[in-house]
């Protein structure tokens, strides 16, 4: 075809006045225009074809768009269609040769223009349709964050979260209806937040400041055990750091954390990169519930938890790029099942404390290769009025990469 049938146009609060000439021409020529009620109202003066408002779930509109293939169609979205928007989603269903994407300035760009911030040094995220806990890993001292709000209540909820985590002095800028005639900006702190009548279309800009003792999640592997709720069934900090080093997280990879206990390995895997995925497999239902709580509290609510016993629970799960066996290595067929499921180039790491489990790992090394490491840790403890180092139980680690 001579020109793409599907146009994805970014539109701002200034409506058709802010559209480029090519965007205006495409909108005027469209036989069908999809968009939110607000978008359709902003573009009404140029729409001559059929106007269809989005359903509550945007993905359900995709079949209706695809059914009009070959007919001039326009999809209206806010700002930049490729940034927390529908452009990339539609590109998964329609070849790029059939799509023309015409962006408008994103809310992030407009916010930085108002605040004088360098966008390349700012963390950007969306809280639209996403849990507020997703903000937690980004709550770091001296960081600037721009977050798209889900609605008028989001700024207050963010302020509550920051106060609870010891970030009360943080500056909060609430920017409403950016780029339109009703644009408004108000500045406060998390500690003093009392803004009312916030418009539903708003963006939050944060300048994060921590007080001493604030709940800051370190960026290195091996979080203190106190970060996790647990019943003692947890890979301790030092052994966990060495396990994660051997698992070698890479962007976008999937981990199986088998016999997950408190979920600490899976959670730190997810903290290593926002594109990572993890499945925690834990047979004990109480521990499985605790894993979900830990994941929420540490800002990785996307952790998938399977409350069932491995290896049977592994059937049907997505193929992992890495797997950690923290419990159950002695279960018949466990190592073989994980090894068979592991993708080529995948890493398998298992820990043992008991001699019997260590023997199983020795046999696995003989069968599959890899390396064995003994991890010995001693911690300073009081001995009456004196002090001495008390050894923790030695951990044996088997680590192997699948050819």
Domain spans of the chain, in order of start: 6-104, 108-207, 225-401
Q: Would the pLDDT of 151 be above 60?
A: yes
pLDDT of the residue at 1: 46
Helix H or strand E segment including 126: strand 123-126
Average pLDDT, the chain: 95
- List residues bridging with 145 in a β-sheet: 123, 206
As a whole number of angstroms, the distance between CA 193 and CA 101 comes to 39
CATH number of 225-401: 3.40.50.150
For residue 75, give the nearest of 120, 142, 26 by alpha carbon: 26
Q: Answer whether CATH 3.40.50.1000 is correct for domain 6-104.
A: no
CATH class of 108-207: alpha beta
pLDDT tens sequence across 358-379: 999 999 999 999 999 999 999 9
Helix H or strand E segment including 162: helix 154-164
pLDDT tens sequence across 57-98: 767 788 999 999 999 999 999 999 998 888 888 989 999 999
Dihedral, 270, 236, 399, 390 alpha carbons, nearest 10: 160
On whether the CB atoms of residues 397 and 241 are closer than 8 A, the answer is: no
Q: What is the DSSP string of 236-257?
A: -HHHHHHHHHHH---TT-EEEE
pLDDT of the residue at 56: 67
Q: pLDDT confidence of 116, banded at 50, 70, 90?
A: very high
Average pLDDT (321-337) is 96
pLDDT tens sequence across 255-297: 999 999 999 999 999 999 999 999 999 999 999 999 999 999 9
* Alpha-helical segments (H) within 6-94: 21-29, 37-42, 62-66, 87-91
**Percent of the chain whose predicted confidence (pLDDT) is above 90:** 94
User: What is the value of pTM for the model shown?
Assistant: 0.91
CA diameter of the chain: 86
| Same fold flag, 108-207 and 225-401 | no
Number of DSSP helices (H) and strands (E) in the chain, helices first: 11, 19
pLDDT tens sequence across 214-249: 999 999 999 999 999 999 999 999 999 999 999 999
Cα–Cα separations (whole angstroms), residue 212 to 141, 167, 172, 228, 297: 11, 9, 20, 20, 20
Quote the tokens at residue 110. Answer: 């407009």
pLDDT of the residue at 198: 98
Quote the tokens at residue 103. Answer: 């962006």
Pairing of β 378-383 and β 304-306: unpaired
Contacts of 231 (CB under 8 A, 6+ apart): 262, 286, 287, 290
């Amino acid at each position: 075809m001579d020109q793409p049938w599907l146009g994805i146009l970014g539109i701002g609060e200034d409506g058709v006045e802010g559209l480029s000439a090519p965007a205006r021409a495409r909108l005027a020529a469209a036989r069908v225009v999809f968009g939110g009620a607000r978008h359709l109202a902003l573009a009404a003066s140029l729409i001559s074809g059929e106007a269809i408002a989005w359903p509550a779930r945007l993905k359900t509109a995709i079949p209706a768009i695809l059914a009009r293939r070959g007919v001039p169609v326009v999809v209206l979205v806010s700002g930049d269609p490729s940034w927390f928007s529908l452009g990339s989603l539609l590109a998964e269903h329609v070849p790029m040769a059939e799509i023309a994407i015409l962006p408008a300035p994103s809310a992030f760009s407009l916010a930085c223009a108002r605040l004088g911030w360098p966008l390349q040094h700012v963390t950007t995220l969306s809280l639209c349709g996403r849990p507020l806990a997703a903000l937690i890993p980004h709550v770091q001292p001296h960081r600037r964050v721009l977050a798209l709000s889900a609605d008028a209540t989001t700024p207050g909820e963010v302020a509550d979260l920051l106060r609870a985590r010891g970030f009360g002095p943080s500056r909060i800028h609430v920017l409403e209806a950016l780029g339109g005639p009703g644009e408004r900006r108000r500045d406060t702190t998390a500690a003093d937040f009392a803004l009312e009548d916030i418009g539903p279309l708003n963006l939050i800009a944060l300048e994060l400041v921590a007080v001493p003792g604030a709940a800051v999640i370190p960026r290195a592997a091996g979080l203190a055990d106190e970060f996790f709720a647990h019943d003692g069934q947890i890979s301790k900090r030092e052994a966990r750091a060495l396990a994660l080093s051997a698992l070698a997280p890479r962007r976008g990879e999937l981990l199986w954390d088998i016999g997950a206990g408190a979920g600490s390995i899976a959670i730190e895997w997810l903290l290593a990169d926002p594109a990572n995925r993890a499945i925690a497999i834990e047979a004990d239902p109480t521990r499985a519930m605790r894993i979900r709580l830990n994941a929420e509290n540490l800002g990785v609510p996307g952790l998938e938890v399977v409350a069932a016993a491995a290896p049977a629970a592994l059937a049907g799960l997505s193929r992992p790029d890495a797997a950690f066996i923290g419990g159950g290595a002695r279960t018949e067929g466990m190592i073989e099942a994980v090894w068979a499921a592991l993708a080529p180039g995948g890493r398998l790491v298992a820990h043992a404390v008991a001699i019997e489990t260590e023997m199983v790992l020795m046999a696995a090394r003989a069968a599959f290769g890899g390396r064995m490491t003994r991890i010995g840790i001693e911690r300073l403890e009081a001995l009456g009025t004196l002090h001495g180092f008390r050894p923790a139980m030695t951990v044996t680690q088997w680590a192997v990469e699948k050819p």
